């Protein structure tokens, strides 16, 4: 195989791995939403959101059906949500949300990722003061009357509404997640994202070299099939 062919094969391999990671995380959301609210997307709001993500990512139908079956408890796998906290290069705080069926494997991986990338895994709860958990919804702006939409969201308890690219991002206290969800359902809107996210209370500025090191660590973590999301407090 020539050098050019090798590069093409390597690029395709990387794209396939990335696609596999996207599939895995989208399918996990299907499984988790089914566990919490059942398999009927007509009544399960979070399942509708998850299925919408799968469609946009072109996840094969048979994979989605397996994920639904898994959520119904027919496969024997027992997953639990576990959070890991620590500091990366430059003292950047990292909060890692995972879902795992083997905690020993996952914590060993986290410890390895931190130590190999000039970071340190901390104790559970050590970074709670640096992140607030908020309800976050992302809704496509196309076709919406912005003034009317913002009023409806504020009435439902939204604290802040931002227009990013072509989408509204709605922030609310985690206790108001259900009220925002209900209002969106009444409006016939299925958001692109609907979740509880960790928002940093303070952010830290770092130089370009440190930034690249932190991004490298986050990339390594997000490539782990157990990792759902990595939050940080980088400024900007």
Give me the DSSP letters along 5-60: HHHHHHHHHHHHHHHHHHHHHHHHHHHHHHHHH-S-TTT-HHHHHHHHHHHHTT--
Q: How far apart are CA 178 and CA 158, in angstroms?
A: 11
Give the pLDDT confidence score for residue 120 in this predicted structure.
95
Q: How far apart are CA 224 and CA 216, in angstroms?
A: 13
Q: How far apart are CA 154 and CA 138, in angstroms?
A: 15
pTM exceeding 0.95: no
Q: What is the pLDDT of residues 32-84, one digit of tens each?
A: 888 888 999 888 988 998 898 888 888 899 989 988 988 887 655 677 889 99
List Cβ neighbours of 179 (8 Å cut-off, separation of 6 or more). Answer: 156, 157, 172
If DSSP codes are grouped into helix, strand and coil, which group holds residue 78? coil
Q: What is the pLDDT of residues 83-110, one digit of tens each?
A: 999 999 999 999 999 988 899 999 999 9
Q: What is the pLDDT of residues 126-146, one digit of tens each?
A: 888 899 999 999 999 999 999
Give the pLDDT confidence score for residue 32 in this predicted structure.
83
Q: What is the pLDDT of residues 174-204, one digit of tens each?
A: 999 999 999 999 999 989 888 888 999 999 9
Residues 107, 154 contacting (CB under 8 angstroms): no
Quickly count: other Cβ atoms within 10 Å of residue 49's Cβ: 24
């Amino acid at each position: 195989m020539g050098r050019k062919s090798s590069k093409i094969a390597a690029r395709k391999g990387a794209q396939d791995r990335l696609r596999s990671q996207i599939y895995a995380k989208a399918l996990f959301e299907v499984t988790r939403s089914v566990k919490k609210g059942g398999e009927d997307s007509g009544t399960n709001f979070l399942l509708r959101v998850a299925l919408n993500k799968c469609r946009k990512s072109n996840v094969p139908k048979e994979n989605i059906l397996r994920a639904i079956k898994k959520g119904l408890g027919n496969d024997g796998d027992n997953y639990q949500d576990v959070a890991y906290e620590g500091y990366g290069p430059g003292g950047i705080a990292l909060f890692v949300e995972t879902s795992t069926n083997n905690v020993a494997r996952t914590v060993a991986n986290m410890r390895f990722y931190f130590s190999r990338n000039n970071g340190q895994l901390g104790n559970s709860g050590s970074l709670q003061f640096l992140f607030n958990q908020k309800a976050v919804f992302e809704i496509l702006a196309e076709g919406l009357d912005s003034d009317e939409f913002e009023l409806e969201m504020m009435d439902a308890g939204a604290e802040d509404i931002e227009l990013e690219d072509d989408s509204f991002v709605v922030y609310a206290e985690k206790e108001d997640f259900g009220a925002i969800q209900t209002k969106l359902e009444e409006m016939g809107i299925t958001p692109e994202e609907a979740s509880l996210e960790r928002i940093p209370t303070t952010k830290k500025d770092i130089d370009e070299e440190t930034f690249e090191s932190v991004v490298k660590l986050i990339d390594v973590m997000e490539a782990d099939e157990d990792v759902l999301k990595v939050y940080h407090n980088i400024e900007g």
